[in-house]
Amino acid sequence: MKSGNLGYPRIGLERQWKKALESFWTGELAEADLHTRLKEIRLSNLRLQQEKGIDIIPVGDFTYYDHVLDTAVMFGLIPRRFGYEGGTPSLSVYYAMARGSKDAAACEMTKWFNTNYHYIVPELDGARPVLTGNRLLEAYAEAKEELGIEGRPVLVGPLTFVKLAKGYAPGELGDWVRRLLPLYVQVLRELAEAGVQWVQVDEPILSTNVTAEELALAEELYGQLVREVPDLRLFLQTYFEAVEAYEKVVALPVHGIGLDFVHDGGRNLEAVLRCGFPDGKVLGVGLVDGRNIWACDPDDKLKVLAALRNGVEDSRLVVQPSCSLLHVPVSTVKETGLDPVLHGALAFADQKLEETVLLTKAGKLGEAAVAAELEALRKGRAALNESSFRNKAGVRKQMAGLAAQPVTRAGTFEERRERQEKRWQLPLLPTTTIGSFPQTPEVRSARRKWRKGEWTEEQYQRFIREEIGRWIGIQQELGLDVLVHGEFERNDMVEFFGEKLEGFAFTGNGWVQSYGSRCVKPPVIFGDVEYTAPMTVAETVYAQSLSEAPVKGMLTGPVTILNWSFVRDDLPRRDVAFQIALALRQEVEALEAAGIGMIQVDEPALREGLPLKQLLVEEYLEWTVKAFRLSTSTVKDETQIHTHMCYCEFQDMIGTIRALDADVISIETSRSHGELIASFEEETYELGIGLGVYDIHSPRVPPAAEMEGMIRRALQVLSPRQFWINPDCGLKTRRMLETVAALGNMVQAAKQVRTELEGGGAGA
């Protein structure tokens, strides 16, 4: 029996990776220095895994931005608009694909299965695949030469890669897989010639609802890979759910299969015990949770391992995390400020490696050999479960009476719309933003001074009010119709609320990668969630006092708080969402009572939590809709409820979006605007909607004419009465000058099309 790992966080304990990338993008760091710094981080990550005692260490999981983007670039799948002319792609081309440039829009970005990580979507339309370099060979050689590590290269599998790409017709999946297959063969052959023994090929798509045709394609392609490179052993890794069609997957012509035994709902284990596991193949046993931060229950894990050992010899077992550890923070070593009861129940990436090795030792040597370490895990979990944090009488009483709580607005949407239009008197195509404005160095500096005690509460609040006032003035000068206060007091849209609710804790260094260099520090929901006092009323009311135009109250919704947090594992996620929803409802009511008549409850992460299995989706959507409506259903009809979603395949979610019963929803669509608009030609949507008319993830400032085109296209399928104009997401990460310029162009575009509508022109 061996221990293995599937991937390690790229960012470094101090987020050195993020800082290096951003210094390079701003011109402060030369390209040669960027390579040097990233190599230092990469080798440090490998060295740590070696020192922890991991037997099988992945190489090639490190990236300069995103592992799917790496695969696309390695295969020369670079859209023409980036000016690539062959050869080794430059970093400027690589980063232009990820972030855009002044001449070319960035590639689309979307979530990685049902995680909070986002990848760059490969574009296959018109592409001619060619191998531009073997990055896995370089990673393997570096690990071996520098550290003596016989690493296992990690590669996104061909079926998953093409399924996650865009730019081809549904019937062309097999054609594209076969077109890429020679390049995969070439990569693997070069690895085999260099002495590589095993390659990890990630195929998480096999944990989704794959078809019989796709399974037949997988059998064909892996059969060819094994025939073409007979000296190499392929380890096919799945994760995030139970595999679809277990017997067919484990029969694929590969040498090892990795399965998730944490997030499989018990289905992978049941399938192995019922059907057996093929002789001669290695089984990767995903025992340690790679997606959450809690110390494992050793008795539960060893029970699973014991059951598997009844049918699979120890020599064919690899104990490993359930997925790559890029989804969890690096280490708990710096979390000295946490309550000891909570700290004792945590495990970040480094601790998960230790758990992996511990479970392997318990399996090989017997539990008695590691009894003290196992008992420490048991005590840590028990102390938290028995604590007052998880046993609040008031919250438990609320939850017991959940069935009596209102989840429906008093009036229908049409009734509400009449009252809201009468109250607000907004023009056609009203303009607004999603909520946040640039978090400048001055804003971040002020927050640091306040947190460190260098500024008093009075000094900090004075600064926040000055920023609110400045940006209310900017919005009025630009001519926006509905304003926001800018969220300058908020470090993060989830962390801010967690800091003000009971049941949350915050790490000092618990950063994880969201996309590119964007790192987030998710709150930890470790106890019962309880509302104690207003959280956003003071800033919103102050902003409203500065303008006659409406100012939206801005809240993060219950499902997004849930999905963007590390969530306790002793309750169903549904119950935790309802606890959050009941707390947020009190804040919604407090805003309304203070005179705020537009309240935005954002759910950008609602879709991110979708189960991979269709049979589980309906149940998830049912309780997430209920959680949102628990938060918003007690307001008056004339109070307008807004919400926002990110990266939403609208055509798949229209029923759910309608069921939320929000008066206005804004959807992040600028990178796939045309595809979304096309869905309205098949579906009818009658509520208010704002389709993002420019991409806030790029520094590019699109001209007004470009946005006008997007608006006119949308008006072919949407009524002007329901259509709002907005950026596609919050503006927190952008700089001030580009923000003002882009919003100015947006307002200009809206006014131009509005004039055409009022004059009976195009789109009327």
**111, β-bridge pairs:** 118
d(CA 472, CA 465): 10
Looking only at the bridges linking them, the beta strands covering 198-202 and 256-260 are unpaired
| Four-CA torsion 706, 707, 711, 714, nearest 10 degrees | 70
DSSP 438: -
Dmax (CA) of the chain: 83
Please state whether 257 falls in left (phi above 0), alpha (psi between -120 and 50) or beta. beta
Is residue 623 within 8 Å of 574, Cβ to Cβ? yes
Angle formed by the axes of helices 349-365 and 31-52, nearest 10° = 30
Q: CA geometry: angle at 63 spanning 57 and 68, to 5°?
A: 100
Query: Please, how many CA atoms are within 13 Å of residue 504, restricted to the half-sphere of its CB?
Result: 24
Q: Which two tokens stand for residue 421?
A: 């239009």
- In sequence order, the 6+-apart residues with CB closer than 8 A to the CB of 521 are 329, 492, 495, 506, 507, 509, 510, 511, 512
Assign 622 to helix, strand or coil: helix
Are 683 and 658 in contact by the 8 Å Cβ rule? The answer is: no
Q: Residue 2 is inside which H or E element, if any?
A: strand 2-3
Residue 697 known to be catalytic: yes
Q: How far is CA 334 from the centre of its chain?
A: 24
Residues 528 and 49: their CA atoms lie apart, in Å, by 35
- Residue owning tokens 């495990």: 347
Which SS3 state, helix, strand or coil, does residue 308 take? helix
Core vs surface per residue 138-165: b (16+ CB within 10 A) or e: ebbbbbbeebebbbbbbbbbbbbbbbbb
Concatenating the DSSP letter of every residue in 239-303 gives: -SSPPSSHHHHHTSSSSEEEEESSSSTTHHHHHHHHH---TT-EEEEEEE-SSS-BPP-HHHHHH
Angle at 501 between CA 495 and CA 504, to 5 degrees: 60
User: What's the CA gap between 527 and 385, in Å, rounded?
Assistant: 9
Q: Helices 673-680 and 704-715, interaxial angle, to 10°? A: 20
Catalytic one among 263, 327, 644, 697? Answer: 697
* Active-site annotation, residues: 697
